Amino acid sequence: MFELTGKKAIITGGASGIGRATAVLLAQSGAAVAIVDLDETGGEEVVRQIVEASGKAMFIRADVSQAADCQNAVRETVVAWGGVDILFNNAGIVQRATVVELSEEDWDRVMAVNVKSMFLMSKYVIPLMEKGGGGAIINNASGWGLTGGARAAVYCASKGAVVNLTRAMAIDHGSKSIRVNCIAPGDTDTSMLRNEAKQLGEPVEAFLKDSAIRPLGRIGQPEEVATAVLYLASEAASFVTGAVLAVDGGGLAD
């Protein structure tokens, strides 16, 4: 039920972290994967990894906060693979600050990458999915899209928007057999998590230790989050839409 042979997927922010792990896993499951990112070096490395394992992948450089880049990424995917069956809206950034500390530019930048990009990519992909008879969209939210966090005002606002955008899209497009769900990861071992420590002026190891305070007693690995995306993209989740799947070691339960 997790077989994706013949499916075509787009993954934004696929050059590193959760996006990278998901690209590799979807390719291993049979999907042809388009990795969309600004990081050309990282993106091409992921493509090489997938192709060397006999998978199908390509890299498309794009700023997903820009409409023209999103439209071009979708167009290039269609030219290469013939359509889009799966969209993982994963690209995201974090800015740790209160509303008083935030600049207007930082607010706009985080909202553009974390929310506007999902609107734009979905806008151009959904008509293709409708023509193709359906598809699956997975948005990357966060546990902080469901609860608040200290010195993370714009990040919490953006991820809360992702959660409700997901629900609204599921309602709008369910009649066309397009399922829209989101994942809500907890702290995961990525460069973005380490960047948070630097933004807050905290020692990285101490920050990671504090992040592990949850029922499972550790932070997550990108590969563990990727399995949740695979589930939501596959026929195993054929009756799941509008859902928010927490992948957080029990952080929201604590």
Residues that are catalytic: 155
Q: What is d(CA 254, CA 239) in angstroms, rounded to the nearest whole number?
A: 29
Residue the block writes with tokens 């504090």: 210
Helices (H), 53-116: 67-81, 104-111
* Residue-level length of the chain: 254
Number of H helices, E strands in the chain: 9, 7
Residue the block writes with tokens 């550790």: 218
Query: In sequence order, which residues have a C-beta less than 8 Å from that of residue 183 and are 6 or more positions away?
Result: 138, 139, 140, 141, 225, 228, 229, 232, 244, 245, 246, 247
Whether the CB-CB separation of 196 and 189 falls below 8 Å is answered with no
Report the 10 Å Cβ neighbour count for 56. Answer: 17
Please give the DSSP secondary-structure letter assigned to residue 232: H
